[in-house]
Chain A
Amino acid sequence: MFATLSIGVTLLLVLLLARPTGLYIAKAFQYETTRLDRWFGWIETPVLRLGGIRRDDQTWKQYALAVIVSSLVMILLVYLVFRTQAYLPLNPSHIANMEPTLAFNTAISFMTNTNLQHYSGESGLSYLSQMIAIVFLMFTGPAVGLSAAIALIRGLAGKPIGNFFIDLTRSITRIFLPVSFVMAIVFVALGVPQTLEPTVIAHTLSGEVQEIARGPVGSLLSIKQFGNNGGGFFGVNSAHPFENPGAVSNLLQIVLMMLLGTAIPFTYGKMVGNPKQGRVLFLSMTMLFIVLLGVSLSAENAGNPVLNAMGIQHEQGSMEGKEVRFGMVQSSFFSVVTTAFETGAVNTMHDTLTPLGGLVTISNMMLNTVFGSVGAGMMNVLMYVMIGVFLSGLMVGRTPEFLGKKIEGREMKLIAVTLLIQPMLILAPTAIALFAYPETISNPGFHGLTQALYEFTSSAANNGSGFEGLGDNTPFWNIATGIVMYLGRYFSVVTLLAVAGSLAAKKPVSETSGTFRTDNGLFAGVFLGTVLIVGALTFFPALVLGPVAEYLTLKP
């Protein structure tokens, strides 16, 4: 009963917030003068002046180039911070400089909104690095994703693509900074530390010495969740009592993770001038989400049959790798949300999930269309929408149209390449890892395959959670996942912006009774069918060898 109630209340809260947030985002990116210009002018005007930015419209090529170049600049800046952190100030716990392949991996990881972490925050980063490298990219990473998605939607709506630097700035000043600031204070009130003092030494009740790591956690935590970043201040992320002290902080983190992903379909509906277009996608994704959540809850509730057979009291469900204050329900719920919304924060160790609970998390990332992360998720969803439209067009023998524009050879070629790159990025390096570096995999049997598969799926989908038993801080894993994360992010940004540019340049065709509609229940079915068929065809064999085989062989 408490399970249903707590999940129901959380989802209701998100449902109430999604539409107003979506409409607010649409307004925040309008280039016509709005009231928001006055509210945020005091910070935006100096930022843009210091950056030397003018408000010119860019072509899709200029926009994409600006995305690539500014991201490279930020990766480089942060790389330099990691490599020199020992010499820089605000390092009270005397953390050493980061090793080159790890710094390469970490800089890309945070720029691409992935937040895969091959280091442990307590021992790998100085406070300065946590602030000017990690938190800095936690703002700009999702802001790049959101900007690109807005540009794509503008293109689909037949408007000019916009200016990347203006969009980037507005994402941060109008959306990410205000919410993160307020929520950081709330999290501290709930018990999350926020200090520049070093690790504290405690003399425990049993007479032992306990070192307790702490730091400026609250300010990182709010943007970590709200920007779908997911990288923890501490090694175990939101399972750490300092990074998630109780059930209320847990609820707020879940809501923050879900907020932008659920809002953007409404932004899309508003910007293309037909709210039903957005609502159809929102409802389709909600259905996928609910089904996957149900599977995870029932698997985690059933627990591990081998442990259950040992005669202990096991009404709690699976508890290995989980925290008592969250219990099975809030842990399972969190694991589904963090992978559906491509955040990658964890409050339970995903390696210890039951086979089917783990299967849900990995499926979320492979589909990458159950809402997905800020911006990037919506771009991927719109790509599947166009594939759905194209397939329907083929079936009835008409040139497919989407939002009044013909989808033709050039767009479909770009989309097909984008669609093919994702399995390439996941399956090929997984095979290499299993073949060449089996010693880095900590669990024997089928689960070992899942560990490697999970790591690359998480990298390609820019999720960033891990099956943490993997010995992943080695040059191979650092460089391989670094490359996968980079391509997983920027390849589709460029190709989809090209699609947007190409569609925006076309003459609109008028809608007739023969036009295939993309704002009704039939299209929801087409969209879901496309997502599931493409996803299943691509990944089913790998899933059978990993989690499904583990499930079938797990007997007392």
Chain B
Amino acid sequence: MNLIGSSIRLSLVFMLVCGLLYNLVVTGIAQAVMPKQADGSLLLDEKQNVIGSALIGQTFTDLRYFQSRVSSIGYHAAGSGSGNYAPSNPDMLARTQASIEAWQKDNPDVPLSRLPLDLITNSGSGLDPHISPGAAEAQIPRISKLTGIPAEQLMAIVAEHTSGRELGFLGEPVVNVLELNLDLTKLMQ
């Protein structure tokens, strides 16, 4: 029938145009003009090995480093996700309680009232590369004590890696944890 024939033919044409051509043309232009972004904003070390992406967070278990936010997927960027805990979920409350206890043990010099909420909550993606500037500052006394680097020096690199609101008014001020820790590594040596 004419209707079915036309439907099949037009669908295949659009599958080709919108599905294949559109995607490939955009990919071609993106790769030619801005390969760095198009490949995922990868960060390389001196030997050109990939150490991560500027946009993707990592886990830092060593207490001498700045810690990232809670991630139910342990920053495994082959996937993405969060615990999807409702505000009333008892498991979420237990997890937060445990985070608070761990914080108090590791950071005896910083009162709980200086611990910002973002550091002990699970991000949406489980890959959040950022923490709030307050969450970075709250970790300075611990890191200073463990590494011997003076607090002022740590304060300076935190300030250096703090990005203000985009265009001056959009979003929130953030600190990129991986980039901050890369600089911290240099100070440690």
Task: Give chain A's interface residues, CB within 8 Å of chain B.
Answer: 2, 5-6, 9, 43, 47, 50-53, 65-66, 69-70, 73-74, 77, 120, 122-123, 131-133, 135-136, 138-140, 165, 168-169, 172, 177, 180-181, 184-185, 188-197, 199-206, 208, 210-214, 216, 218-220, 234-236, 239-242, 245-248, 250-251, 303-304, 306-307, 310-316, 318-327, 329-331, 346-349, 351-355, 442-447, 467-469, 550, 553-554
Q: How far is the CA of A380 from the CA of B95 in the complex (A)?
A: 43
Q: Mark B87-115, 1 if CB is under 8 A from A, else 0.
A: 11110110011001000000000001111
Known: A139-B14, A325-B130. A73 touches B23 (CB 8 A): no
B10 beta carbon closer than 8 Å to chain A: yes
Inside 8 A of B4's CB, which chain A residues have their CB?
A: 69, 73
B125 within 8 A of A: yes
Given A5-B169, A193-B39, A51 contacting B117 (CB threshold 8 A): no
> In the complex, how many angstroms separate the beta carbon of B19 from the nearest chain A beta carbon?
4
Distance in angstroms from A425 CB to nearest chain B CB is 24
Q: Does B166 contact A (CB under 8 A)?
A: yes
B127 proximal to A (CB < 8 A): yes
| Complex contact A241–B14 (CB within 8 A) | no
CB-based contact A320/B121 at 8 Å: yes
Q: A70-B7, A311-B112, A323-B125 are in contact. Are A136 and B117 (CB under 8 A)?
A: no
A136 → chain B, closest Cβ, in Å? 4
The answer to whether A447 and B76 have CB atoms under 8 Å apart is no
CB of B69 within 8 Å of the partner chain? yes
A69 to B5, CA, bound (A): 10
A51: chain B residues at CB < 8 Å are 6, 9-10, 13
The residue among B6, B23, B58, B130 with the most chain A CB atoms within 10 A of its own CB is B23
Q: Which residues of B contact A348 (CB under 8 A)?
A: 124
What's the minimum C-beta distance from B115 to chain A, rounded to whole angstroms? 5
Residues of A within 8 A of B40 (CB): 193, 195, 200, 212, 214, 242
Q: Which residues of A contact B166 (CB under 8 A)?
A: 246-248
Instruction: With a 10 A CB-CB cut-off, give which of A196, A351, A446 has the most chain B CB atoms.
Output: A351
Residues on A with C-beta less than 8 A from B5 are: 52
Count of A-B contacts with CB under 8 A? 370
- Given contacts A201-B50, A325-B172, A553-B88, is CB(A136)–CB(B81) below 8 Å? no
Scoring A169, A190, A195, A554 by chain B CB atoms within 10 A of each residue's CB, the highest score goes to A195
Chain B residues with CB under 8 Å of A181's CB are 22, 25-26
Q: Which residue of B lies closest to A556 (CB)?
A: B93
B78/A213 in contact, CB under 8 A: yes
Query: Which residues of A are found within 8 Å of B83, using beta-carbon distances?
Result: 469
**Residues of A close to B172: CB separation below 8 A:** 247, 324-327, 329-330
Interface string of B44-68 (1 = CB under 8 A from A): 0000011111011111111001000
- Chain A residues near B39: list those with CB within 8 A: 193, 195, 197, 200, 214
Which of B53, B89, B167 lies in contact with A212, CB distance below 8 A?
Answer: B53
Query: With an 8 A cutoff between CB atoms, is B144 at the interface?
Result: no
B95 CB → nearest A CB, Å: 10
Contacts A135-B22, A203-B51 given: A240-B185 contact, CB under 8 Å?
Answer: no
B11 touches A242 (CB 8 A): no
Minimal Cβ-Cβ distance residue in A for B25: A181
Chain B residues whose CB sits within 8 angstroms of the CB of A66 once the complex forms: 3, 7
The reply to whether B10 and A165 contact each other, CB–CB distance below 8 Å, is yes
B147 lies within 8 A of chain A by Cβ: no
Closest beta carbon of chain A to B72's beta carbon, Å? 10
10 residue pairs of the A-B complex, CB under 8 angstroms, read: A51-B9, A193-B38, A196-B27, A212-B40, A241-B56, A241-B129, A311-B100, A311-B113, A313-B134, A446-B88
Please tell me if the beta carbons of B31 and A194 are within 8 angstroms of each other in the complex.
Answer: yes
Bound complex: CA of A306 vs CA of B88, how far in Å?
Answer: 8
* Measured CA separation A251–B169 after assembly (Å): 11
